Structure 1
Amino acid sequence: MTHPFSAPETKVTAPEANEAHFDLMLAFEAYKATNEQRLGEIERRAADPLTQEKLARLDAALDSQKARLDAHVAKSRRPALGGAPEQRSGAALEHGDAFSAYVRTGESGGLKALEAKALSVGSGADGGYLVPAETEHEIGRRLTQLSPIRALASVRTIGSGTYKKPFMKSGPVAGWAAETAARPQTDSPVLAELAFPAMELYAMPAATQALLDNAQVNLEEWIAGEVDSAFADQEGAAFVNGDGVAKPKGFLAYTKVAESAWTWDKVGYVASGVSGGFPATNPSDPLVDLVYALKGGYRQNASFVLNRRTQAAVRKLKDESGDYLWAPPAVAGQGASLMGFPVAESEDMPDIAADAFSIAFGDFRRFYLVVDRAGVRVLRDPYSAKPYVLFYTTKRVGGGIQDFDAAKLLKFAAS
């Protein structure tokens, strides 16, 4: 069964996406040619400022073409909200009609009756009324497309305020013994309990009364579209850098140690060998060290996570054979790759700087857990911003590391 928050596996064949992919490939070929010219000039004397300027323009063009392609892919993958009316159950239609009446006019009697029937409390003081299930699932799908860490991580939906997960830090001691030799008693496994509380995330889109009176406007889809970007921005920042206070704890907020000193409940890192950059000789070596700091079982499904400015720096690197480490998508609908591994772009990752942890690499599905408490609530407020009607929309989200050995960081430092 497909999880409601999972990204659909849709083959993208839209002409706009194919055209954007073609333009991206052309831009990358021009970028490579200009970078080769720059490297040749450096070997002879110094890079021509005009060449540097041209490379910077091509770098920006690559980012623009990639963003254009990503937008077309996301649009083509976005499903219609809820399906046709005849495909929805009677309960779903009843909830949808009651919710539409509440949003358009403030009439809450239908939603009160539904939530009383479901033995749940849904009042203004409790934070509004639950949106229909189709709207909640659509918000989840859009967040998966917009929030890079959510798209990579494991996602659990819970009904309580906190998700608790036991994790075995070490198993029972085992060993070899001869057929008639004594078997000493083994040690017990060591378990740790991880707790992921769900914190409240909110957005407050505004609508005019003319919009609400327009029967042609699908208000469920309008709310989903209005809150997805706001939720995704806040989630993305929290999943990377959140301090765990009234928000999820980001993976960069945990204690970080050199990989040689790694222990459970800490995140291991590999140093680049140079403060604030890649080494001048064999600059790709730190990335190789980062990849192989991860155990083989995690590398199979691993991805790089970095922001676009770091990606621009990595784009210039080559391996010993002279091939570029970064490659654009092979076809429309796929993502860029680095050393053969997928690249996820997260603007909340830090830029390359002294002692910055600018690149993460790992199996994020095993590394990071996102917890969604079931239910998205909407409270209609026609008073606070007249003549506009505000819709205070809330959902509860938590997150944190669930397997500390499943990802590693690259620290731009001498050690």
Structure 2
Amino acid sequence: MMKNITKAPISRGLQAVFAQANEDDGVAQILAKINELKASKDNEISALKEQIAKAADTETVNALKTQLAQSEQTINSLSEQIAALQLNGGVGSPNAADKAAHDAILAYMRMGDIHSELKKSDNGNGGYLVPTEWDRTITDKLQEFSPARQVFFVQPTSKPTFEKLYNLHGSTSGWVGETDERPNTNTPTFKTLKFETGEVYANPSATQQILDDAEIDLGQFLATEVQNEFTLQENKAFFTGDGENGKPTGLLTYAEGGTNATKHPLGAIKVVKSGDANKITYDGLIDLVYSLPSIYAQNAQFLMSRNTIAVVRKLKDADGNPIWQPSLQAGQPSTLLGYPVVEMAEMPDVAANALPIAFGDFKRGYMILDRKGVSVLRDNLTKKGYVQFYTTKRVGGGVSNPEAMRLLKIAA
């Protein structure tokens, strides 16, 4: 192949062929002229071999062998030029797209310097013969997508806000005798919590011409890219969102001492200390599990980042047995202290005062509100020559029941 050719000396006979070539000659016409010259050289080589076989003295044999070597070198050169021209387009005249390469080959072939070399690094000296193959796929930079919507409860809503009612109890009762008075007792009290939905948007644009001419479907590519970006943004908000501008209020912000510790009618999410100022301990995990009421422990699971999982997998009980149990069945999660573990990239890593592990019944603990799915407005009028892909999604989220969850804090 041409990419392996490092030197292609041009014989004077070959120079003559290209000196006679017309500008309008196609690759086929040039190939025909080279092949004619190659055939004459083949005949010359055959004749020289016959003369060598019949020669009697050493001096004559050596002289004939020198001529044979020169002829064979010429044949090799011709074969290389034929291969070069065939790679440039095979039979037929070059089309408009190949015109630059075709002109460069003719100019090269007509050069008087018989020591010229074909080089991939120089288009005029053969670079056009080694075209670049373009990968028509795109390799994405890694993005981690957490299964938040599989873990939390998803509530579709037809309104921009969603209100939830909470019973704070407060009823009282008393023991009475047969004839004792029965005064009024206290009744339950109620509170409501309003969940807001907000809008996340993107507005990428592309020229109409690149949409028409690109080797990939740019419209579909941009749509997929925006959807992935929305997923990253909402997942981050489900754990750390500040609730401003309709953004979801993050689960971690409801922790005791957090920015939304007093927001919920049922109070903050209780925090359990790890037992060490810098790391997770086995005793701390036991405290975390048994701090959750049994009614919520039935469907509880752990949420933690991949780095935290690496730490937990090394922990052992008092007898030296690993407390992590890998899954023995495809599609089933591994377990920690008998409870499933879900990898969640948005959870913090282990560090002093961090909250690296959440434990609880998250279907009852956190609610995602879906007001409207992804909507795309393709706008080719606002900015002439460009197409804007105005994309929106309306979503909300917040803690629905803090009592159903616990958080582990790295603290003594």
Partner AA of 1:254 in structure 2: Y
How far residue 348 of structure 1 moved from its aligned partner, in angstroms, is 1.5
8 Å CA contact 2:160, 2:371 repeated in 1: yes
Counterpart CA distance in 2 for 1:294 and 1:188 is 28
How far residue 203 of structure 1 moved from its aligned partner, in angstroms, is 3.4
8 Å CA contact 2:169, 2:189 repeated in 1: yes
Partner AA of 2:291 in structure 1: A
Q: Could you tell me which of 367, 376, 379 is aligned with 1:378?
A: 376
Q: Could you tell me which of 280, 301, 304 is aligned with 2:302?
A: 304
Name the % identity: 46
Q: Could you tell me which of 365, 381, 403 is aligned with 2:401?
A: 403
8 Å CA contact 2:255, 2:271 repeated in 1: no
Secondary structure at the aligned position of 1:226 is classed as: helix
1:329 paired residue number: 327
Counterpart CA distance in 2 for 1:163 and 1:290 is 31
| 1:369-408 superposed Cα distances (whole Å, 9 cap, x missing partner) | 1111034321213478997644221111111111121101
| 1:178-205 superposed Cα distances (whole Å, 9 cap, x missing partner) | 5554433221212111111101112346
8 Å CA contact 1:307, 1:351 repeated in 2: yes
Distance of aligned partners of 1:175 and 1:207 in 2 relative to their CA distance in 1, 3 Å threshold? farther
8 Å CA contact 1:305, 1:343 repeated in 2: yes
Counterpart CA distance in 2 for 1:370 and 1:233 is 15
Counterpart CA distance in 2 for 1:311 and 1:362 is 17
2:275 paired residue number: 273
Distance of aligned partners of 1:387 and 1:172 in 2 relative to their CA distance in 1, 3 Å threshold? same
1:304-383 alignment, distance < 5 Å: 304-382=302-380
How far residue 149 of structure 1 moved from its aligned partner, in angstroms, is 2.6
Distance of aligned partners of 1:365 and 1:213 in 2 relative to their CA distance in 1, 3 Å threshold? same
2:251 paired residue number: 251
8 Å CA contact 1:168, 1:189 repeated in 2: yes
8 Å CA contact 2:306, 2:343 repeated in 1: yes
Secondary structure at the aligned position of 2:244 is classed as: coil
Q: Which structure has the larger Rg? A: 2
**TM-score using structure 2 length:** 0.57
8 Å CA contact 1:147, 1:235 repeated in 2: no
Secondary structure at the aligned position of 1:394 is classed as: strand
2:189 paired residue number: 190
Counterpart CA distance in 2 for 1:407 and 1:359 is 11
Distance of aligned partners of 1:318 and 1:165 in 2 relative to their CA distance in 1, 3 Å threshold? same
Q: Which has the higher contact order (CA 8 A, sep 6+)?
A: 1
Distance of aligned partners of 1:332 and 1:185 in 2 relative to their CA distance in 1, 3 Å threshold? same
Counterpart CA distance in 2 for 1:406 and 1:220 is 43
2:230 paired residue number: 231
Secondary structure at the aligned position of 2:165 is classed as: strand
Q: 350-359 vs 164-173, which deviates more?
A: 164-173
1:119 paired residue number: none
- 5+ long unaligned stretches in structure 1: 1-144
Counterpart CA distance in 1 for 2:268 and 2:357 is 17
Secondary structure at the aligned position of 1:253 is classed as: helix
**TM-score using structure 1 length:** 0.56
Counterpart CA distance in 2 for 1:301 and 1:220 is 42
How far residue 177 of structure 1 moved from its aligned partner, in angstroms, is 4.4
| 1:35-62 superposed Cα distances (whole Å, 9 cap, x missing partner) | xxxxxxxxxxxxxxxxxxxxxxxxxxxx
8 Å CA contact 2:300, 2:361 repeated in 1: yes
Distance of aligned partners of 1:206 and 1:306 in 2 relative to their CA distance in 1, 3 Å threshold? farther
| 1:312-358 superposed Cα distances (whole Å, 9 cap, x missing partner) | 11010122343322223322212222112111222221111111111
